[in-house]
Amino acid sequence: MTKKLLSEIPVLKGDRITLKALTADDAGALREFTQNEDIYRMLPTFLFEKKYDSAEYVISRLYDECIKQSLILGVFLGGSFCGLAEIYGYRAVLSKASAGYRLLPQYWGQGIATEALGLMVKYVLEETDVNYLTASTMLENRASAKVLKKNGFKQVAHALPENWGFKFPVLTDKWLRTAEGHRRPYRFQT
């Protein structure tokens, strides 16, 4: 029997990293993270960790207010906070969710995003009621496209306008990963 997504807060362990719930002890690291503009230049403007001014308050709301729509886990390498991994946009009726990730710049290019996404894919598509995992990337975010490809995502749409909270719509590529053995096609709603 598979679990309903968002019914628990898992701890996902990989070869080098762990994805787990943030605690009050992580507030300083999250504050540094949310103040780093390099992280957010290719991301939507409305991410939950930017919703409130206080990192302590964000963490206090992550697993009650936010868990209704998203599962945000800290990415830790050897105990050090290096970013966030998120499952969002869950639609039980469609058996669909979306994945996202963001790391501090000093952890870019080390395979950490690839491993984090791999852990999320394994958990979501093998242990929960989700059969379709989607993602969106800005056209110029080639690094994120590589991470998605390494995790079995296929590009299913190119250069679609999407509202990411900027002055104008952002052109994005759409990506899809389907659960093993699941054959029913998924149609992106544009």
**pLDDT tens-digit series, residues 38-97:** 999 999 999 999 999 999 999 999 999 988 889 999 999 999 999 999 999 999 999 999
In the chain, the number of structural domains is 1
Is there a domain that residue 118 lies in? yes
Is there a domain that residue 172 lies in? yes
Is there a domain that residue 126 lies in? yes
Tell me which H or E stretch contains 115.
helix 112-127
**By the 8 A CB rule, do 119 and 12 touch?**
yes
In this predicted structure, what is the pLDDT of residue 187? 64
Q: Write the CA distances from 147 to 84, 152, 157, 176, 184, integer angstroms.
A: 15, 9, 17, 13, 25
What token pair was written down for 23? 């605690």
Is there a domain that residue 109 lies in? yes
Is there a domain that residue 189 lies in? no
In this predicted structure, what is the pLDDT of residue 189? 57
pLDDT cut 90: percent of the chain above it: 91
Is there a domain that residue 190 lies in? no
Write down the mean pLDDT value for the chain: 94
What token pair was written down for 165? 């909270």
| Residues spanned by the domain of 59 | 12-178
Is there a domain that residue 184 lies in? no
Mean pLDDT of 3-23: 96
CATH number of the domain encompassing residue 54? 3.40.630.30
In this predicted structure, what is the pLDDT of residue 36? 96
Place of tokens 């970013």: 83
Query: pLDDT band at residue 122, thresholds of 50, 70 and 90?
Result: very high
Q: Would you say the C-alpha torsion 59, 127, 88, 67 has a positive or negative sign?
A: negative
Is there a domain that residue 49 lies in? yes
